[in-house]
């Protein structure tokens, strides 16, 4: 029976030769991830249902990552991390990226770290997982965060679940899943230098709507997608949930394999869709005809091109998050900002400490990325989710007033980045950086001439 990549992975994890869309199956899980927003609730349900002294199903396959509310003086947020740390110690969980380097109470926030790679702390969960080798082709990864679909970029089935489902997986290592129908999105042609993965996925969401892929697997393919590096593929899969998708997925190739082998020595088995697999629908795009794209307030589905929004003045540019705070994202932003000065407050937030280190390691025009951003007048914060989820009032980059922001984050619902009346335009790092220079929504082609796609695989 011909199957899509999503169906093959679910069948293998259910011990079945084949599965069909709509079937409910028990699946064994390879990795369970949770962060400081949901982990305390998940732990509470686990201990209520399995018992405080019950062991977790596999201490090697549970990954706990504090990342959302880290650099804040809010003690309720600190309490969430205390709960995670206590659970890890009692259960012997092997993978916990702790925050012990932070001073008690986090006085004088925000607290920068002097040498990021000397601490166990990592940063945003969806960038930490790949960097620490927890994402592998052919596997099944679940996380108590809706953007867990990010990891489909590695050719694995990865999706977000709630705290109750997370608690069940924590105790049993399996979960009851419904096989989703698959939608295929094919990007033909070469990737223009002024586009990034963010433009492609915003174009898709604008095409199908925020409910156009409800409980479907969104499979991305085509020459343009295959030409992208891992950072860019993660951006595309990350926002599948914004179209209602159950998961996003890109078949693993040599680019994937080289990245994963560079992060872990654990074996993996890539799978791909059969040529004659059935899809609920196939959407095809001519990539070179796509323009720099944004999502207007207050929905990821309100698509418009940068040229159409050229009269929109902004108060802030924000470049960060699991969707826009990776190394490639900052290379793109630095390419635009080199030798220029920002016209509005511009916040730079690396997703992880490894990305933070890249700000000092990588150069554009003879300057490190950090030097480029500093010279341009940007404000650089410590690695975390920061203002992507709003957070407490002292969160770095949070919109505490009803301002207009161009942001590389993944959601622009009312209140998502802080003030409920703040107007958030979602954009690529290229567009966010160009807009920072002019103080209004700007097509990056108006600011800089680019030699080639910054997100091209190398």
- For 27-49, give the DSSP string: EE-SEEEEETTTHHHHHHHHHHH
Tell me: pLDDT of 325 over 50.
Answer: yes
Spatial contact of 350 and 384, defined as CB atoms under 8 Å apart: no
Tell me: pLDDT of 427 over 60.
Answer: yes
CATH match for 24-177 among 3.60.20.40, 3.90.1300.10, 3.30.499.10, 3.40.50.720: 3.30.499.10
Q: CA 286, CA 155: separation in Å to the nearest integer?
A: 23
pLDDT tens-place string over residues 77-121? 888 988 998 899 899 999 999 875 443 444 444 433 334 333 488
DSSP 363-425: EETTEEHHHHHHHHT-EE--SS-GGGG--STTSTT-B-SS-EEEE-SS---TTTTBSTT-EEE
Mean model confidence pLDDT for the chain:
94
Task: Give mean pLDDT, residues 407-421.
Answer: 98
Tell me: pLDDT of 369 over 80.
Answer: yes
Q: Would you state the CATH architecture of domain 180-289?
A: 2-Layer Sandwich (3.30)
Q: CA 37, CA 281: separation in Å to the nearest integer?
A: 35
- What is the predicted pLDDT for the residue at 109? 40
Helices (H), 281-348: 321-324, 327-337
Q: Which two tokens stand for residue 394?
A: 């002292």
Separation in Å, CA 66 to CA 108, 235, 330, 348: 20, 21, 23, 20
Percent of the chain residues topping a pLDDT of 90? 88
Burial of residue 378, with CB atoms counted within 10 A of its CB: 0-12 exposed, 13-18 middle, 19 or more buried? buried
Q: Which residues contact 308 (CB under 8 A, 6 or more apart)?
A: none
- Return the closest-CA partner of residue 65 out of 353, 395, 266, 429: 353
Query: Superfamily for 295-446?
Result: Aconitase, domain 3 (3.30.499.10)
pLDDT band at 368 (very low <50, low <70, confident <90, very high): very high
pLDDT tens-place string over residues 226-280? 999 999 999 999 999 999 999 999 999 999 999 999 999 999 999 999 999 999 9
Domain boundaries, the chain: 24-177, 180-289, 295-446
Q: What is the largest CA-CA distance in the chain?
A: 61
pLDDT tens-place string over residues 399-411? 999 999 999 999 9
How large is the angle between the packed helices 429-438 and 327-337, nearest 10 degrees?
Answer: 30
Is the fold of 24-177 the same as that of 180-289?
Answer: yes
Q: Which residues contact 52 (CB under 8 A, 6 or more apart)?
A: none
- Return the closest-CA partner of residue 387 out of 295, 326, 316: 316
Q: CA 281, CA 278: separation in Å to the nearest integer?
A: 9
Separation in Å, CA 378 to CA 342, 345, 437: 7, 7, 11
pLDDT band at 62 (very low <50, low <70, confident <90, very high): very high
- What is the predicted pLDDT for the residue at 77? 83
- Return the closest-CA partner of residue 444 out of 336, 326, 322, 327: 336
Tell me: pLDDT of 333 over 70.
Answer: yes
- The whole model's pTM is what? 0.95
Q: Which residues contact 118 (CB under 8 A, 6 or more apart)?
A: none
pLDDT tens-place string over residues 184-231? 999 999 999 999 999 999 999 999 999 999 999 999 999 999 999 999
| Strand ranges of the sheet holding 182-188, from the earlier edge strand across to the other edge | 247-249, 217-221, 182-188, 281-286
């Amino acid at each position: 029976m011909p199957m899509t990549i999503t169906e093959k992975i679910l069948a293998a994890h259910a011990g079945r030769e084949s599965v069909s869309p709509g079937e409910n199956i028990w699946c064994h899980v390879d990795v369970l991830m949770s962060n400081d927003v949901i982990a305390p609730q998940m732990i509470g349900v686990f201990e209520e249902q399995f018992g405080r002294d019950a062991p977790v199903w596999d201490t090697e396959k549970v990954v706990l990552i504090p990342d959302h509310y880290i650099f804040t003086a809010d003690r309720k947020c600190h309490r969430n991390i205390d709960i995670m740390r206590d659970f890890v110690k009692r259960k012997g969980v092997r993978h916990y990226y702790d925050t012990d380097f932070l001073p008690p109470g986090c006085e004088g926030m925000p607290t920068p770290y002097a040498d990021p790679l000397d601490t166990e702390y990592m940063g945003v969960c969806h960038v930490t997982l790949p960097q620490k080798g927890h994402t592998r082709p052919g596997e099944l990864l679940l996380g108590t965060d809706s953007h867990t679909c990010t990891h489909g970029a590695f050719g694995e089935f990865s999706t977000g679940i709630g705290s109750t489902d997370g608690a069940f997986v924590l105790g049993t290592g399996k979960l009851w899943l419904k096989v989703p129908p698959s939608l295929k999105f094919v990007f033909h042609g070469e990737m223009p230098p002024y586009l990034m993965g963010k433009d492609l996925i915003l174009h898709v969401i604008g095409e199908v709507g925020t409910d156009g892929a409800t409980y479907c697997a969104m499979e991305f393919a085509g020459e343009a997608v295959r030409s992208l590096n891992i950072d860019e593929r993660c951006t595309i899969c990350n926002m599948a949930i914004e179209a209602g998708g159950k998961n996003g997925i890109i078949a693993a190739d040599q680019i994937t394999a080289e990245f994963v082998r560079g992060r872990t020595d654990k074996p993996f088995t890539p799978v791909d869709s059969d040529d004659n697999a059935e899809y609920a629908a196939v959407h095809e795009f001519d990539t070179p005809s796509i323009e720099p794209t944004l999502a207007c307030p207050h929905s990821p589905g309100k698509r418009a091109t940068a040229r159409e929004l050229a009269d929109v003045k902004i108060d802030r540019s924000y470049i960060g998050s699991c969707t826009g705070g990776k190394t490639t994202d900052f290379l793109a932003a630095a390419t635009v900002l080199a030798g220029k000065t920002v016209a509005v407050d511009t916040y730079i937030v690396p997703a992880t400490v490894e990305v933070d280190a890249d700000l000092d390691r990588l150069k554009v025009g003879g300057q490190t990325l950090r030097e480029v951003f500093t010279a341009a007048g940007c404000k650089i914060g410590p690695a975390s989710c920061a203002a992507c989820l709003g957070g407490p009032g002292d969160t770095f980059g949070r919109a505490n007033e009803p301002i207009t922001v161009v942001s590389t984050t993944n959601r622009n619902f009312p209140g998502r980045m802080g003030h409920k009346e703040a107007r958030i335009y979602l954009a690529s790092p290229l567009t966010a950086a160009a807009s920072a220079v002019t103080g209004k929504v700007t097509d990056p082609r108006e600011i800089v001439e680019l030699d080639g796609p910054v997100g091209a695989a190398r």
